[in-house]
Amino acid sequence: MLFKAFLIKYGEIGIKGRNRYLFEDALVRQIQFALREAEGKFTVSKEQGRIYVEAEGEYDYEETITALKRVFGIVGICPVVQIEDRGFEDLAEQVIAYIKQVYPDSQQTFKVHARRARKNFPMDSMTINSEIGARILDAFPKMRVDVHHPQINIFIEVRKKIHIYSQIISGSGGMPVGTNGKAMLLLSGGIDSPVAGWMIAKRGVQIEAVYFHAPPYTSERAKQKVIDLASLVAKYAGPIKLHIINFTDIQLYIYDQCPHEELTIIMRRYMMRIAEQIARESGALGLITGESIGQVASQTMQSLYATNEVCTMPVFRPVIGFDKLEIIDLALKINTYETSIQPFEDCCTIFVAKHPVTKPSLKVIQKSEEKLKEKMEEMVERAVSDREIVVCKYT
Ligand code: ATP
Ligand code: MG
């Protein structure tokens, strides 16, 4: 194996000063976490504004790249050849050997970018550029220099060791999980909410989740599906604490007391209230849903307005402007789609009225809820205190 190490590139915007060190430490932690999925032993280190992943002995290259591509905060992954400093002649030979192996046809245009981070190396960066460039031209008659639009950029960084690299594999971008607080995801068994959770986690937010379960109307398999989805999102977001709320009594009571066309909205308002209560206990500062304007009756502007009204925390709806197909594309990309489309009922589909209101009036809804209030307070308390908690990790 040519490559024993990877240079990790990360975005620099907004991470100056003290934030930078927090960002880097979180990134190192997330990389270590992700690499547990790859065969091999690795050390992750921080050195002068760079993060390196070094393999100790044999490892699986493809698995390593796949794992690193999942880590939020990584912009690029560069497989590097690290060599000892044995003087310029040796360096030139190693660069030539590198090109032979990585670009066997050796006919591209190129540019050398040297960076002398260790100042006691006897040549400055400009000299390294031109001298190495000349050696490459000698060794590969079909290669040409193009300083404006080269097909390959060859980077040479002189540090304690010398690093040679030219490939930059795109990472997922975003920010390392743990650098931007925590939010509570309302996770159903559908396609949208896992994607919504993934999108907010991508911005560095730690995720907890809440699922409303209505046994026996919703099956154990429906619950398992949500646990599976949380575990899939955990592959990117780290372990997710999933709060499973038994919603049956609350749902039956609403069903019993309220006009059926208002069921969904009232139910959703109670979900939001309960999610917010748990969020507050967990120190989360926002809620996340998979709502998208107009997708279903409960997601019209009027419905969103009525649902949102019970929340005092910000509600993040990252897929709000996406079409279903755009959400599906993301679900496929993050590998939750197959699980989401398994056909187990979630609690909404059973208690759905034939003709739900699409333009609920807040006043009317509030009035219907009035008569629930007294008994509901206690039911909500019980549902919250009896909740089951499952920590979902990717396995
Ligand atoms: P999804 O694909 O995420 O299930 P959906 O298109 O089925 O979304 P709704 O059922 O209207 O839409 O739900 C809207 C949002 O409300 C979901 O994205 C999710 O965030 C939340 N939600 C719905 N049902 C539940 C549930 N049983 N438990 C937790 N959250 C839920
Ligand atoms: Mg749903």
User: pLDDT tens track of the chain, all 395 residues?
Assistant: 689 999 999 986 556 677 788 889 999 999 999 999 899 999 999 987 789 999 999 999 999 999 999 999 999 999 999 999 999 999 999 999 999 999 999 999 999 999 998 888 999 999 999 999 999 999 999 999 999 999 999 999 999 899 999 999 999 999 999 999 999 999 999 999 999 999 999 999 999 999 999 999 899 999 999 999 999 999 999 999 999 999 999 999 999 999 999 999 999 999 999 999 999 999 999 999 999 998 887 889 999 999 999 999 999 999 999 999 999 999 999 999 999 999 876 555 567 777 778 888 899 999 999 999 999 999 999 999 999 999 999 77
Among 184, 185, 192, which residue has the most ligand 1 atoms within 8 Å of its CB, making it the best to mutate? 192
Asked if 258 and 372 count as a contact pair (C-beta separation under 8 A), the reply is: yes
Give the separation between CA 285 and CA 206, rounded to whole angstroms. 11
Nearest residue (CA) to ligand 1, atom 2: 190
Q: How far is the CA of 161 from the centre of ligand 2 (A)?
A: 53
Q: How far is the CA of 147 from the centre of ligand 2 (A)?
A: 53
Which atom of ligand 1 is the closest one to the Cα of 349? 10
Sequence-separated (6 or more) residues with CB below 8 Å from residue 8: 27, 31, 50, 51, 52, 53, 68, 74, 76, 77, 78, 171
Predicted TM-score (pTM) of this structure: 0.91
Residue 175 pLDDT: 93
Residue 357 pLDDT: 81
Which atom of ligand 1 is the closest one to the Cα of 193? 3
The vertex-301 CA angle with 300 and 307, nearest 5°, equals 85
Give the separation between CA 338 and CA 251, rounded to whole angstroms. 28
Residue 16 pLDDT: 66
Which atom of ligand 1 is the closest one to the Cα of 290? 18
Query: Counting ligands in written order, which one lies closest to the CA of residue 267?
Result: 1
Query: Counting ligands in written order, which one lies closest to the CA of residue 244?
Result: 1
Query: Counting ligands in written order, which one lies closest to the CA of residue 211?
Result: 1
Ligand 1 touching residue 140 (CB < 6 A)? no
Residue 144 pLDDT: 96
Phi and psi at 250, nearest 5°, equal -60, -45
Ligand 1 touching residue 187 (CB < 6 A)? yes
Nearest residue (CA) to ligand 1, atom 23: 188
Residue 100 pLDDT: 95
Q: How far is the CA of 63 from the centre of ligand 2 (A)?
A: 33
Which atom of ligand 1 is the closest one to the Cα of 214? 27
Residues in the chain: 395
Which atom of ligand 1 is the closest one to the Cα of 210? 29
Query: Counting ligands in written order, which one lies closest to the CA of residue 347?
Result: 1
